[in-house]
Amino acid sequence: MLVAGHAAHAAIPIQHWQHASGAKVYLVESPVIPMLDVQIDVDGGSRRDPAGQAGLASATADMLSAGTLAHEGQSALDEHQLAEAWTDLGASFGAEVSGERFTLSLRTLTEPALLRQAVALAARQMAVPAWPGPVWQRDRERWAQALREADMRPGTHADRAFGQAVYGDHPLGRPTTPETLAAFGVDDMRAFYRQHVAACRANVTLVGAINRQTADDIVGRLISAIAPNGCPRLAPVPAVEPLQAAVEQRMPFDAAQAQVLIGQPGIARSDPDYFPLFVGNYILGGGGFVSRLMTEVREKRGLTYGVYSTFMPGLQPGPFQIGLTTRPDQAAQAVALVREVVARFVAEGPTEDELRAAKDYLVNSFALRIDSNRKLLGNVANIAWNGLPLDYLDTWTDQVKAVTTADIRRAFGRVLQPEHLVTVVVGGR
């Protein structure tokens, strides 16, 4: 369903202003259906977890749904009562964490009475979370058990080893374990929330059937819930350092398939070569069955059912990662072939035919990136988070069309060092 109401090359008017609280607001009016999506992003992702307490940010987000305290004449709500209240409104509110962001999300109808109640309930949940200790004790044991069960899968070991090899002591490389979960409690969550969920640093994105005046009123009511947290200073996050040498880890694991991850630190979203790297990666391993890696590793040699490559940029350099599964006795051959394909691509870049096909697909499929309010919300929130131009979506296809084979070869040669790849293989003897 095309909720945004924009053709692929039509202008997408993003209204932007700064709320009196300091929060930055981004609005796209989408009047086609009476719905509203709101996303609030703050710098409180897992990279902010204290040493030895990996999982604190995620636990803090999860526990926001565990109930509210009594507030402004309203009775306290436990987790079940809170869930029922959202169900009665036909709306939803929740929190989640990525490496960089702590995200609060509201979805509701815009019928005035329902909208008013949904915003009020979201503000209440943000203002007075209950942080019930018994709920955390239960959820911590469930989470720890899930982690122990995940340790029985080779992919878990591959992901953990890859992250630690790429990031070293950086917070982005710290895994969550039963031991790190046991190292914090609800008091730590309360302190983390007050420290990081601050109005002065919030980006608020709204997409839906509202105008600017209504949007500013909604932002005011939501942001007032966290205004008492103040604006605490955040310590700088350590820089992501490039690898100085190749790293190889081969871990035995009794499994039918070996898990293979290959990569290194990639780029920040602000990198000026983002589009050459984006288009080039589609050709290398991001384009599914039409990518070079898929052609060489699957189609020609039959070493895997699937292989991919991806850049994951953010405010800090995210990883460049290649992943595949293969028979353990074929792992060495698959790794050698992937390295060969990457080295050749870095040295030579794509062909003109490959680039033409990639551009055709990416440009023609652009409309699918913004064909719903939720997708549009995610795109506009990324613009807000990464400080991209407000016309970023309007110029996206032109940016793709402008990429040349020389651009891709130069960008990959600058960013990737095939001689400094991390290689993790989990499986076999």
Q: Is residue 238, in this structure, part of any structural domain at all?
A: no
Task: Give the list of residues 6+ apart from residue 356 with CB closer than 8 angstroms, or none.
Answer: none
Residue 65: φ, ψ to 5°: -95, 10
Q: Is residue 236, in this structure, part of any structural domain at all?
A: no
Task: Write down which residue in 229, 257, 275 finishes a domain.
Answer: 229
If asked whether residues 45 and 73 sit together in one domain, one would say yes
Predicted TM-score (pTM) of the model is 0.94
Quickly tell me which residue has 């609800």 as its tokens: 186
pLDDT at position 429 is 73
pLDDT at position 11 is 77
pLDDT at position 3 is 37
If asked whether residues 196 and 332 sit together in one domain, one would say no
Q: Is residue 235, in this structure, part of any structural domain at all?
A: no
If asked whether residues 289 and 207 sit together in one domain, one would say no
Q: Is residue 92, in this structure, part of any structural domain at all?
A: yes
If asked whether residues 284 and 164 sit together in one domain, one would say no
Instruction: Name the region of 131 (left: φ>0; alpha: ψ -120 to 50; beta: rest).
Output: left
If asked whether residues 85 and 184 sit together in one domain, one would say yes
If asked whether residues 194 and 282 sit together in one domain, one would say no
Residue 423 DSSP class: E
Q: What is the CATH classification number for the domain harbouring 204? A: 3.30.830.10
Give the largest Cα separation in the chain, rounded: 69
Residues in the chain: 429
CB 386 within 8 A of CB 220: no
CB 355 within 8 A of CB 405: yes
Q: Are strands 203-208 and 35-43 parallel, antiparallel or unpaired?
A: antiparallel
Q: Is residue 157, in this structure, part of any structural domain at all?
A: yes
Q: Report the C-alpha gap between 112 and 55 in whole angstroms.
A: 38
Number of domains into which the chain is organized? 2
If asked whether residues 195 and 48 sit together in one domain, one would say yes
Closest C-alpha to 250, from 158, 175, 323:
158
Range of the domain at 130: 15-229
Closest C-alpha to 310, from 326, 296, 291:
291
How does pLDDT run across 174-192, given as a tens digit for each residue?
999 999 999 999 999 999 9
Task: Write down which residue in 175, 197, 229 finishes a domain.
Answer: 229
- Structure tokens, 363: 């440009």
Q: Is residue 165, in this structure, part of any structural domain at all?
A: yes
Q: Is residue 58, in this structure, part of any structural domain at all?
A: yes
If asked whether residues 332 and 405 sit together in one domain, one would say yes
Give the helix, strand, coil percentages of the chain, each rounded to 5. Answer: 50, 20, 30
If asked whether residues 207 and 286 sit together in one domain, one would say no
Q: How many other CB atoms sit within 10 Å of the CB of residue 29?
A: 17
Q: b/e map of 179-189 (b: 16 or more CB within 10 Å)? A: ebbebbebebb
If asked whether residues 314 and 357 sit together in one domain, one would say yes
Report DSSP letters for 92-127, one per residue. Answer: EEEEEE-SSEEEEEEEEE--HHHHHHHHHHHHHHHH
Q: Report the C-alpha gap between 60 and 193 in whole angstroms.
A: 7
Task: Write down which residue in 194, 229, 264 finishes a domain.
Answer: 229
Q: Is residue 239, in this structure, part of any structural domain at all?
A: no
If asked whether residues 142 and 273 sit together in one domain, one would say no
Sequential pLDDT tens for the chain (429 residues): 333 333 334 579 999 999 999 999 999 999 999 999 999 999 999 999 999 999 999 999 999 999 999 998 999 999 999 999 999 999 999 999 999 999 999 999 999 999 999 999 999 999 999 999 999 999 999 999 999 999 999 999 999 999 999 999 899 999 999 999 999 999 999 999 999 999 999 999 999 999 999 999 999 999 999 999 999 999 999 999 999 999 999 999 999 999 999 999 999 999 999 999 999 999 999 999 999 999 999 999 999 999 999 999 999 999 999 999 999 999 999 999 999 999 999 999 999 999 999 999 999 999 999 999 999 999 999 999 999 999 999 999 999 999 999 999 999 999 999 999 999 999 977
Q: Report the C-alpha gap between 25 and 19 in whole angstroms.
A: 7
If asked whether residues 267 and 158 sit together in one domain, one would say no
Report DSSP letters for 259-326, one per residue. Answer: EEEEEEE---TT-TTHHHHHHHHIIIIISGGGSHHIIIIIIIT---S-EEEEE--SSSPPEEEEEEEE
